[in-house]
Every structure is written in structure tokens, then in C-alpha cells.
A and B are shown apart, each in its own frame.
Chain A
Amino acid sequence: MTKHPQLDSWQENELQKSLSRFPERKAKFVNHGGQEIPRVALPDTINDEYVKKLGFPGRYPFTRGVQPTMYRGRLWTMRQYAGFSTAADSNRRYRYLLDQGTTGLSVAFDLPTQIGYDSDDPLSSGEVGKVGVAIDSLADMEMLFDAIPLDKVSTSMTINAPAAILLAMYVAVAEKQGVALEKLQGTIQNDVLKEYVARGTYIFPPRPSLRLITNIFKWCAEHTPAFNTISISGYHIREAGSTAVQEVALTLANGCTYVQAALDAGLELDVFARRLAFFFNSSSDLLEEVAKFRAARRLWARLMKERFGAKKPASLMLRFHTQTAGHTLTAQQIDNNIVRVTIQALAAVMGGTQSLHTNSRDEALSLPTEASVRTALRTQQIIAHESGVANTVDPLAGSYYIEQLTDRIEQQALELIDTIDKSSGVVACIENGFIQRKIENASYAYQQEIEKGERIIVGVNEFQSEEENPPELLRVNPQVEEAQIANLALVREQRDQTEVDSDLQRLRDAARSDDNLMPHILAAVKHYATLGEICNVLRSVFGEYRDRG
């Protein structure tokens, strides 16, 4: 084996530091025959080309992973997205999941909350508590995290346009629990750009949205340094029908837009860059997905270094959460979905994800039942403890196919990013519909392949069978809406209205100026101003976004 100087330096620095800070899970990793499993398998000859393209885990360009020992040190976070109907119900589900060995909470909000309407708004009718938990005021948030110590869990909140408000409520709950804010761990999604092209829960136009986002970056850097202030998401772009290359390109292009907005707002790159997290989709083409994750990591490191001049390694690392691909789940033969999810989860792990959500088998039909959620979690546990893929870092590296694919995805993604840059950037390309068009075309082509039978989906266009008995489904009790509205009325009655009014007035003035809005929002939520009231103030100043369709 020819030694490369970088190998020594990596072993002495990154690896040693990591081993002493986070010892590996086992003293020795062995297979069934007792043979030792290498930490990182390397080529016989390590040349400059290898170092440049793949390098070593935990070192630029991070193709092989962001930590030197990856899952030998610590397994990925098994994070199951859950949350439904009321705060009290969700709270029970969280406590159940924590008991079952979940290591991170993930909060799903209902649509009115995500779009900034209170439960009693006419537009909320029929949607309250449907796809997640309804949060109207701090009172709901207090209930949601009742008896869950916020310094002990890491909480991921899937919230975008009103992220500042939900974050403020979370902070207010932590303060009430007496938890020091530096200890708060978790992530808010806070990625509005992808909402315009893929997910649809936008409120304000792009430019004021970017301002809210940089306000959060700045406030969190000062108060909650361990909280990830954004999760730049390709997941929904893929769900909307994009290709793997588009998923990488559009996500990283959005990432660059946030970085530039933060720089323009006067923030320091190496301070906020480490708090950027990513969120990708893992679909069924196992090898392409593995290559995709590796390509994304390498490309982001390069963009951060070469475009923005980031210096600290932490600023260059693309750390990401993964969810298995919801759009691949079928309503037919739903047990097949368990197998799909397994393949997809395997891709995410072999691609080096930091955390993972596995979908439940019945999600194409409704919200998952407790039993299906458990199977989904068990799937991750089997991969972690039985499959062996977690015992060695970046196990597919060096496969001709994987490396070619990694190069190709990186290159094509970069081309698309360049095209967007040349067309005046992401915001302009959202406004003129370029990005939406790209995704739609890809989605249409994919669906056509299925319709024409060129792409086989087992149980859908091939291998159909007589439908088995309809599965047991979870339903949201329709009384949830009434109960939530009644609670909200109570909150409005009991709070100090003059405090709320003056908080909202101050917020309005601040929105018109260049002030950071976070302190004003925090003040308002502490006096139990509702999410809808706060959003309405901002709507009146910022206007509302309308999609071209």
C-alpha cells in the first residue's frame, strides 16, 4: 500500500480527534466469521486523484462522509415525523416514541398552522389537526412538550413560512421549563424557497421571506447556537416529481441563495454556515440514490469553498436528514411498501445520512397507525444492527458504477445551478416559472413511463393481485376541530388583550423598518398572541404570494 501524505495527516488529525471525542460503539467490529471489518476501506494506491475526488471521511471534499468514523461512532438519528390532531394527542405519541427508542422528535403541523391561519379561520375549516398538530398559541406548544425536557431531546419542526413564530413558541416553552437556550437542539425547516416550487405552504413573497429567514439566522446565532436554523430541503422537490439531479441542483441553488442573503444581511459566513442543515429524499433506485448523496456532499463543499470562500471545515460539510420517498408508496398491496422503504433507507444509510425518517406502509392511504410506525422504526433498527452496513464507512466507494454516477450527478447538477445563476438566480427563476416548469416536465415524463408500462411499479401496473381486506386506518376525530377552536377562544379570553395589541403594533412597525423581527415575535407569543394574528400583521406589511400554477 502506497501511503499518501494526506492519509497520515487525516489519521493524526480528524480521525484521532474524533476517536478521542467520540469513541466507537464497539472496541472491535467483526463479521460473523470473526474477521475484523475495516473502518474505512481504501484503495491500494492512494493517489492525488483519489484524494481530490474522494478523500477521507470528515475531510474536504467530504465525498465519503462528514465524520471520520461515521456510524461506528454513533448511529444516525432515527427520527420519525409524527404529530396529529391536538397537542395533547401528539404529546402522548412523542412520549411513546421516546420510550420505544426514538432519539429525536419530529413535529408535523397541520396545514392551517403551516400557512399561518388560526384554527377558527374560515379557511381552516376541515383541515384542523388533519396532517399534523394544530398550534394556535403558546398554550398549545406548552401542551405539546408537556413533561418532555427540552434540553434532553432534539426537536425537528417541519415549519417554513411561519418558522419564526413556532421557534419563538418553542423558545418560550424552554424558558418556562427553565432550560438554558444554548442547550436547545433541533431544526426548523425554514426553507421557504422550495415551498414556491414544490410544497405550496408559502405565505409571503420571496423577498420578505428571505428577510425573515436571515432574521432567524442572526437571532439564533446569538441565542440558540446549537439549533439548526434551516433545513434546506430537496425532499419535497423530489416528491413534486424532480429527477435526482434536479433534487441536488435545486436544493444547493436554494442553499446558495440563503447563504448570499445572509451575507447581504451582514452575517458572518463561518458563523451561520455550520447551522445550515439539508434534507433529502431517498427513492428506490438504490445505487443512484447513494451516488446522489455523495455528489451533493462534494458539490456543496466545493461551492462553499470556491464560491463563498468558507474556511472552517464545519462550514463546508453538508449534513443532512433523509426521508424515504413518500411518492413511491402504493395504495395497492401496501405491505410491499415495507420493502420499498427498506431499500430506500438502506440507500440513505449507505449514502451517509445524519438522520432518517422511514415512512410507514399505510401512508399512501392515510396517517399511519401506531403499528405501522413501529415497523418503520424497526426497519431502521434492523439496518443499523443486523445488516452490517453501519460497520464500515461509505461501503460502496470505489465501485466503478457508483463513482461514475457520483461524478455525473455532480456535474449535471452544477450545470443546472449555473443555468439558474445566469438567469438572474433562484428568486427570478421562481417568479418566471422556470424551476416549476423543470420539475413539472420531469414529473410528467416519469408518470408517462408508468402509464405506458415502460416503468414497472409492482402491484400497480404489473403483478396486480385481488385486493386484500382494506387495512385498518387511522382517522382524525372530527371533534378535534371544535375542541381546538374552543380552546383558542379560551386563550383569547384569558390573555391580556392590551399587551397583545401593543406587541402586534410594535411588530408591525418593526416589519416596516429593518429591525430583526424575532424579538418582537417572541414578545408577542409570550403574551399568547396567536399564530394567525402574527401572520396577519406580517401579511398586511409584506403582502401574500400567489403561484402561477
Chain B
Amino acid sequence: MTKETRKHRVLIAKPGLDGHDRGAKYIARTLRDAGFEVVYTGIRRTPEEIAAAAVQEDVAAIGLSSLSGAHLRLFPAVVEALRKVAAPDIPVLGGGVIPEEDFTVLKEAGIAEIFTPGTPVEKIIAAFSDACEAHYQKRNIG
């Protein structure tokens, strides 16, 4: 395949039990319309399932969505699960109803970017794009 058709592959997942996937689906679709290949895992995923899927699909970034307030537990758990499957290099981005005071904790836990309901969609697309680019740079075979 030629360079110009290299696609950004990302995984959008909903960890935890909340079923409000309007936001996750919207982001998945928006990214598709921006030219990404988006693997969507559906709702109620465990961190282990998400990490395993990301590895199998060889995605360059993972987007998580949580609206139930369980993000402090779930997002870092995905980062941890990635470490366990030898994929700590895949960046994790998170969105949902997340109070600002949680940002620092999440960032320290390895979440690359955090989006809230007010984040403009261009910013989200750009963040995924950058994350993918950076990831491809890193993983080139030497």
C-alpha cells in the first residue's frame, strides 16, 4: 500500500457498565468521517478486553468514554491492562462527564488527553490525529 492511503486506525471503547453510548458513537462516526478507520467495541467492556482488542487490531490510539463517574477507576485500569499485554506505547484518550479536578490524576495515570462535553470536535479529531502520527513515528521498524 502506498503512503498516502495509510489510514489512522483507532479503537473507541466504553469501559464499565453505563450504556449511554451517544457520545462514543458520535465520536466514532465523526472520526470515520474524518477518514479514520475506527474499531468500535460497544458498551460494557472490561479493561482487559479493550487492551486485547487494541493489540489485535494494531490501533494507534484508544478513545474511552465513560459517563457513570467511574472514570477514575476505569481509565487507569485500561492503561494498566495495556502494560500487561506489552502495549504501553498505545496512547489512551478519554472523554465523558469528567470534572476538571480529576484531570491531573488521570494525566498522571497515563491518559494522554481528556475531553469533556464542551470540547469542540475539531480538537478531538486533531488530538487523535496527532496521537496516531506520534505513534507511527515511534513504532517504525528499524
Q: Is B40 interfacial (CB 8 A cutoff)?
A: yes
Q: How many whole Å from B80's CB to the nearest CB in chain A?
A: 13
The reply on A123 being an interface residue by CB < 8 A is yes
A240 touches B22 (CB 8 A): yes
Q: Contact check: which of B40, B68, B97, B99 meets A470 at CB < 8 Å?
A: B99
Task: Provide the B25-50 mask, 1 if CB < 8 A to any CB of A, else 0.
Answer: 11001000000000011111010000
Question: Nearest CB to that of B71 among chain A residues?
Answer: A126
Judged by a CB distance under 8 angstroms, whether B6 is at the interface is: no
Given contacts A126-B70, A364-B97, A367-B69, contact A131 B117 (CB under 8 A): no
Q: Are A331 and B116 in contact (CB under 8 A)?
A: yes
- CB A81 to nearest CB in B, in angstroms, measures 15
CB distance from B33 to the nearest CB of A (A): 9
Instruction: Tell me, yes or no, whether B108 is within 8 Å of chain A by CB.
Output: no
Which chain A residue lies CB-closest to B121? A451
The answer, yes or no, to whether A547 is at the interface (CB within 8 Å) is yes
Given A199-B20, A200-B18, A443-B22, A366-B46 contact (CB < 8 Å):
no
Question: DSSP majority for the B interface?
Answer: loop
A428 to chain B, nearest CB (A): 20
Q: A470-B99, A549-B40 are in contact. Are A330 and B20 (CB under 8 A)?
A: no
Tally of contact residues, A, Cβ under 8 A: 41
Q: Is A351 an interface residue (CB 8 A)?
A: no
Our pick among B29, B74, B100 for the contact of A126 (Cβ within 8 Å) is: B74
Interface: B120 (CB within 8 A): yes
Say whether A431 faces chain B, with CB atoms less than 8 Å apart: no
Whether the Cβ atoms of B117 and A549 lie closer than 8 Å is no
Q: Mark contacts of A177-210 with chain B using CB atoms, 8 A cut-off: 1 yes-contact digit, 0 otherwise.
A: 0000000000000000001000111100000000
Report yes or no: A200 in contact with B43, Cβ–Cβ below 8 A.
yes
A201 lies within 8 A of B19 (CB): yes
Expressed in whole angstroms, the Cα–Cα distance for A37 and B69 within the complex equals 48
Which residue on chain B has the smallest CB distance to residue A132? B68
Asked if B97 and A195 sit within 8 Å, CB to CB, the answer is no
Complex contact B70–A366 (CB within 8 A):
no
Find the B residue at minimum CB distance from A459.
B118
- Tell me which residues from 90 to 142 in chain B have a Cβ below 8 Å from any Cβ of chain A: 97, 99-101, 116-118, 120-121
- B29's partner among A127, A365, A367, A440 (CB-CB below 8 A) is A440
Question: What's the Cα separation between A112 and B116 when bound, in Å?
Answer: 24
Counting CB contacts under 8 A, is A61 at the interface? no
B22 to chain A, nearest CB (A): 5
Q: Distance (Å) between the CB of A261 and the closest chain B CB?
A: 23
Residue-wise interface mask of B (58-86) relative to A, using a CB-CB cutoff of 8 A (1 in contact, 0 not): 00000000001110111001000000000
Indicate whether A402 reaches chain B with its CB closer than 8 angstroms: no
> B16 touches which one: A126, A327, A546 (CB < 8 A)?
A126
Choice from A115, A239, A440, A451 contacting B20 with Cβ under 8 Å: A239
> Does the CB pair A124–B20 fall under 8 Å?
no
Q: Which of A424-479 touch B at CB < 8 Å?
A: 440, 443-444, 447, 451, 460, 470, 473, 476
B43 CB contacts on chain A under 8 angstroms: 200, 547
Name B73's contact: one of A125, A241, A331, A440 (CB within 8 Å): A125
| CB pair A330 B17 closer than 8 Å | no
A549 with B42: in contact, given A364-B97, A440-B29, A451-B121 (CB under 8 Å)? yes
Given the complex of chains A and B, what is the CA–CA distance between A546 and B49 in angstroms? 15
B70: A residues at CB distance < 8 A: 126-127, 130
Chain B CB within 10 Å — which of A126, A131, A546 has the most?
A126
The 10 closest A-B pairs by CB, nearest first: A200-B19, A126-B73, A111-B17, A126-B70, A549-B42, A130-B69, A331-B117, A127-B70, A451-B121, A127-B17
- Seed contacts A199-B19, A470-B101; 16 additional CB < 8 Å A-B pairs: A111-B16, A123-B17, A123-B44, A130-B69, A131-B18, A202-B19, A239-B22, A327-B22, A331-B117, A365-B99, A366-B69, A470-B99, A473-B99, A546-B42, A549-B25, A549-B40
19 inter-chain pairs at a CB distance below 8 angstroms, sorted by A residue, are: A117-B17, A126-B70, A126-B73, A126-B74, A127-B16, A127-B17, A127-B70, A195-B19, A202-B19, A240-B20, A241-B22, A366-B97, A367-B69, A460-B118, A470-B99, A547-B42, A549-B25, A549-B40, A549-B42
Chain A residues near B (Cβ < 8 Å): 111-112, 114-115, 117, 123-127, 130-131, 195, 199-202, 239-241, 327, 330-332, 364-367, 440, 443-444, 447, 451, 460, 470, 473, 476, 546-549
